[in-house]
Amino acid sequence: MRSLVTIAVLSFVPICVCAQAAKPCEELKAEIAKKVEANGVKAYSLEIVPTEKADGAEGKVVGSCEGGAKKIVYRRGEAAPQKPAAEPAKP
């Protein structure tokens, strides 16, 4: 009985890993920004870069998205990410 439970659990793990690996970059970037701001950091930047350029980028790689094709680089001390301003209503 124990081995059946173990096999069931181990077969579920790869499904979870695959589901997380295919996360869109903008969605992951928003989640990371929310966590950073929850820790009280005001001045930072998050940048999405191709994996090959992530090693040379200044900052710390804090996430991987689009199946590992891109990385999210965190830099502290820069301006906070700007949210697009709403367009004024046209009369």
Spatial strand order of the sheet with 44-50 comes to: 44-50, 70-76, 60-65
The tokens of 88 are what? 């004024």
- The C-alpha angle 17, 44, 56, rounded to 5 degrees, equals 65
User: Backbone phi, then psi, for 36, in 5-degree steps?
Assistant: -65, -45
Cα(91)–Cα(28) distance, integer angstroms = 37
The reported pLDDT for the residue numbered 6 is 45
Q: Give buried/exposed letters for 47-77 (b at 16+ CB in 10 A, else e).
A: bbbeeeebeeeebeeebbbbeeebbbbbeee
In tens, the pLDDT along 35-70 reads 999 999 989 999 999 999 888 888 999 999 999 999
d(CA 37, CA 50): 24
The pTM (predicted TM-score) of the whole model is 0.60
pLDDT of residue 48: 93
* Average per-residue pLDDT for the chain: 76
